[in-house]
């Protein structure tokens, strides 16, 4: 069995393409949908087994693609037939390039194309370090695409709606264009084959089979990305694409060598009353019910129809594991004993859409705490945290749609209805002056009393230095064993300052005090230290500090110039931008942003870059809030 992922931006026609390929021979394919939208389709073509993995487009779904691509032998990047849409394909090109996965580009909806295919390829090339070469060019008549020419076989095919294309004579008006495009294709291929290069230099005409052989080698080594075209909704170009996949996609042995695992968890879901379901692809023999995988035994394995029981999976085959809860997509590269490390390209983008979760029923708090980790195991795009101010759970998602799917999942599969609340920035306080304060704690209520007298000196520290406690007590005015209690009390006072926020960046020096041989205690000196510092801070006065984050935005160069006014409008400071050395056509834009603006940055960035950019924010410093 060969497995191919179909990826691309929203509205590119990926699902239609998958359905068209799976039904080429008329049989009804077996299909299973996980997590509501991601589909796996299993079918036969020319006596061979195939599986297509199809995730919806959009930034919300990008984290799912890492495990999918790891389980695939090749990928089809489905792109709209518009040059302007190339930037929407940039995140997908970046991912498949980083994965070093054999990739076909399929220019879909060619029947409504307004741009030349060469213009579309040139626009895509902006974001692709490897060359993209046309393997077909369209045949137009009266402004409409009626067919395509295969540049290797030099045969022309006429399109028919929902029927196989038929051979036609190459129209005279495109012969020059065909010859030019074929020459360009051969020149690109010759860069990777000395025999073909020699033939071109000597003006020899290479044999068609030889060119197919070279193109297969080039694809499998991921040296070039071939571009084919058609219209999935009309069934045009499907046979040519499927035959290219059949002849050129490498087998599971190459995938195992690339991934280095026994099996891969490609997709996962939770099913009410059934538990976790993981779509597993075996990269070698040995994956079977009862066999050890990822350190524990595999439960039952069923076909993608969700019903038919399967036995052992042969190398390359896929199946849905049931009652195998130890498998997870957080580490989807399974060995018999554990997991193989994830490559860097599989890492999900930062989950910057962060909100506080609040169960509608307080009695569901415990159930929610148990359900959320289970969702993290099947969804690499989620993160969990805790709000330092309230102690409540913070859920990080890839965007509003991702959040909605997650909340619907909690309701449908776990019976937990959850609301959300905005996450506020963690403000702090600090002092700007110095003071000396004496505080005497005295209490007599029958029996042993309480007595402690302390004199402290309070002064500000530099930003980011935190808290420092020292003592210069002389003559045993405060016994040594009580000094740690004074420090503990001071630290208690830092929990909330006069304005209700944690206090940072100040120094306390214990300079003098008094004690009583009977009534002094650790508790008394802790109380005295706390109250002394509280009164000192109230006397000096505090200012509120806001956290400032350093933000690194990864953005297609097309949109980088428009980020400066966006960042400035959110009270950010632009630090500059430069070309991303790891991704062609991308820039790294750096800025300092108030943490309170990060949520708005996430929303504005999505609109300004059509959902293509992402960012990582790290705490840089605190500054006074004006």
> What predicted TM-score, i.e. pTM, was given to this entire model?
0.90
Residues 148 and 184 in one domain: yes
- 177 with 161, same domain: the answer is yes
Sheet containing strand 506-514, strands side by side = 435-443, 450-460, 506-514, 467-471
pLDDT of residue 446: 64
* 293 domain residue, yes or no: yes
271 and 232 in a common domain? no
pLDDT at 49: 96
Specify the CATH number for the domain of residue 284: 2.40.30.10
Task: Identify whether residues 484 and 519 lie together within a single domain.
Answer: yes
100: CATH: 3.40.50.300
Which residue, among 400, 383, 342, has the nearest Cα to 607 in the 3D structure?
400
Four-CA torsion 265, 266, 271, 273, nearest 10 degrees: -20
Ranked by mean pLDDT, the top range of 22-36, 183-197, 303-317 is 183-197
The tokens 């084919």 sit on which residue?
A: 228
Three-state secondary structure along 100-152? CCCEEEEEECHHHCCCCHHHHHHHHHCCCCCEEEECEEEEEECCEEEEEEECC
Q: Which of 346, 367, 398 is the last residue of a domain?
A: 346
In-domain check, residue 451: yes
The whole-angstrom distance between residue 159's C-alpha and the CA centroid of its chain comes to 39
Residues in the chain: 626
**DSSP label of 59:** G
Percent of all residues in the chain with a pLDDT value above 70, rounded to a whole number: 99
Looking at the fold, whether 61 and 208 belong to one and the same domain comes out as yes
Q: Give the torsion through C-alpha atoms of 171, 173, 175, 179, to 10 deg.
A: -140
pLDDT tens string 386-427: 998 888 999 999 999 999 999 999 998 899 999 999 998 889
Average pLDDT over residues 54-64: 91
Helix (H) or strand (E) segment spanning residue 334: strand 333-334
Helix (H, G, I), strand (E, B) or coil at 153: coil
Do 115 and 227 fall within a single domain? yes
Query: At residue 35, does pLDDT exceed 80?
Result: no
Half-sphere exposure of 560 (CA within 13 A, CB side): 20
Residue 552 pLDDT greater than 70, yes or no: yes
Q: 80 and 169: one domain?
A: yes
Q: How confident is the model at residue 518 (pLDDT cuts 50, 70, 90)?
A: confident
- On whether both 500 and 386 belong to a single domain, the answer is no
**269-298, pLDDT tens digit by residue?**
987 666 789 999 999 999 999 999 999 999
Give Cβ neighbours of residue 308 (< 8 Å, ≥ 6 apart): 302
Q: What is the Cβ-side half-sphere exposure of residue 320, based on CA atoms within 13 angstroms?
A: 27
Is residue 302 within 8 Å of residue 320, measured between CB atoms?
Answer: yes
Q: Domain ends where: 507, 540, 573?
A: 540
Between helix 117-125 and helix 86-99 the angle, nearest 10°, is: 60
Of 518, 540, 562, the residue that ends a domain is 540
What Cα–Cα distance (Å) separates residue 312 from each residue in 285, 309, 441?
A: 8, 10, 75
pLDDT at 273: 64
Backbone angles phi, psi at 63, to 5 degrees: -60, -25
Distance CA 348, CA 366 (A): 28
Token readout for 321 is 């594991």
CATH of the domain at 488: 3.30.230.10
CATH number at residue 574: 3.30.70.240
26 assigned to some structural domain: yes
* 427 located within any domain: no
Confidence bin at 372 (pLDDT 50/70/90): very high
pLDDT (0 to 100) of residue 274:
66
Query: Is the residue at 590 inside a domain?
Result: yes
- Mean predicted lDDT score pLDDT of the chain: 94
pLDDT for res 291: 95
Using one digit for the tens of pLDDT, what is the confidence trace for 424-451?
888 999 999 999 999 999 987 666 789 9
274 falls within a domain: yes
Bridge partner list, 174: none
Indicate if 519 and 616 belong to the same structural domain.
Answer: no
> What is the domain count for the chain?
5
What does the pLDDT look like over 218-247, one tens digit per residue? Answer: 999 999 999 999 999 999 999 999 999 999
**What backbone torsions phi and psi does residue 566 show, to the nearest 5 degrees?**
-65, -50
Cα(258)–Cα(101) distance, integer angstroms: 9
Residues 84 and 180 in one domain: yes
Average pLDDT over residues 301-310: 89
Q: Which domain holds residue 611?
A: 547-624
Claim to verify: residue 44 and residue 173 sit in the same structural domain: yes
- 108 and 241 housed in the same domain: yes
Q: What is the DSSP letter of 287?
A: B
The answer to whether residue 444 is domain-embedded is yes
DSSP 621: E
Residue 428 forms part of a structural domain: no
């Amino acid at each position: 069995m060969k497995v191919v992922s179909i990826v691309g931006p929203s509205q590119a026609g990926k699902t239609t393409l998958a359905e068209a390929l799976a039904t080429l021979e008329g049989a009804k394919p077996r299909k299973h949908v996980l997590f509501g939208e991601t589909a796996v389709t299993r079918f036969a073509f020319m006596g061979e087994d195939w599986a297509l993995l199809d995730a919806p487009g959009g930034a919300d779904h990008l984290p799912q693609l890492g495990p999918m691509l790891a389980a695939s032998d090749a990928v089809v990047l489905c792109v709209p037939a518009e040059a302007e849409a190339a930037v929407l394909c940039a995140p997908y090109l970046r991912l498949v390039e980083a994965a070093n996965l054999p990739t076909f580009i399929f220019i879909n909806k060619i029947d409504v194309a307004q741009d030349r295919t060469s213009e579309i390829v040139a626009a895509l090339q902006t974001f692709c370090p490897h060359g993209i070469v046309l393997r077909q060019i369209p045949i137009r008549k009266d402004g409409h695409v009626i067919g395509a020419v295969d540049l290797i076989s030099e045969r022309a095919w006429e399109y028919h709606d929902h029927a196989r294309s038929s051979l036609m004579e190459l129209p005279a008006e495109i012969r020059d264009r065909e010859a030019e495009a074929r020459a360009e294709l051969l020149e690109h291929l010759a860069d990777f084959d000395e025999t073909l290069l020699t033939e071109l230099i000597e003006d020899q005409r290479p044999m068609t089979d030889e060119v197919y052989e070279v193109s297969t080698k080039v694809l499998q080594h991921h040296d070039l990305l071939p571009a084919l075209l058609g219209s999935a909704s009309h069934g045009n170009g499907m046979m040519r694409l499927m035959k290219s996949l059949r002849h050129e996609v490498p087998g599971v042995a190459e995938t195992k060598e690339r991934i280095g695992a026994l099996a891969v968890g490609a997709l996962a879901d939770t099913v009410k009353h059934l538990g976790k379901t993981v779509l597993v692809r075996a990269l070698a023999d040995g994956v079977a019910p009862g066999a050890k995988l990822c350190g524990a035994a595999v439960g039952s394995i069923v076909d993608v129809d969700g019903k038919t029981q399967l036995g052992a999976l042969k190398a390359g085959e896929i199946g849905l594991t049931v009652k195998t809860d130890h498998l997870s997509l957080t580490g989807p590269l399974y060995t018999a004993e554990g997991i193989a490390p994830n490559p860097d390209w599989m890492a999900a983008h930062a989950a910057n859409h962060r909100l506080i979760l609040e169960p509608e029923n307080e009695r569901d708090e415990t159930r929610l705490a148990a359900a959320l980790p289970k969702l993290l195991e099947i969804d690499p795009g989620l993160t969990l945290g805790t709000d330092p101010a309230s102690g409540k759970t913070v859920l990080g998602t890839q965007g509003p749609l991702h959040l909605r799917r997650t909340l619907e999942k909690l309701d449908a599969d776990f019976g937990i209805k959850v609301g959300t609340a905005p996450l506020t920035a963690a403000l702090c306080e600090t002092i700007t002056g110095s003071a000396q304060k004496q505080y005497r704690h005295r209490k007599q209520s029958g029996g042993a009393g309480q007595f402690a007298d302390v004199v402290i000196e309070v002064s500000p520290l530099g930003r980011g230095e935190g808290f420092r406690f020292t003592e210069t007590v002389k003559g045993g005015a405060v016994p040594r064993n009580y000094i740690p209690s004074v420090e503990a009390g001071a630290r208690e006072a830092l929990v909330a300052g006069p304005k209700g926020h944690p206090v940072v960046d100040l120094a306390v020096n214990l300079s003098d005090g008094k004690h009583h041989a009977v009534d002094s205690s650790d508790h008394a000196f802790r109380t005295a230290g706390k109250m002394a510092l509280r009164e000192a801070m109230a006397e000096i006065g505090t200012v509120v500090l806001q956290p400032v984050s350093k933000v690194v935005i990864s953005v297609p160069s097309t949109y980088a110039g428009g980020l400066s006014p966006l960042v400035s409008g959110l009270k950010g400071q632009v630090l500059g931008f430069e070309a991303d050395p790891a991704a062609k056509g991308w820039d790294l834009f750096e800025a300092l942003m108030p943490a309170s603006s990060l949520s708005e940055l996430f929303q504005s960035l999505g609109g300004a870059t059509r959902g293509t950019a992402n960012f990582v924010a790290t705490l840089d410093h605190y500054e006074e809030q004006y």
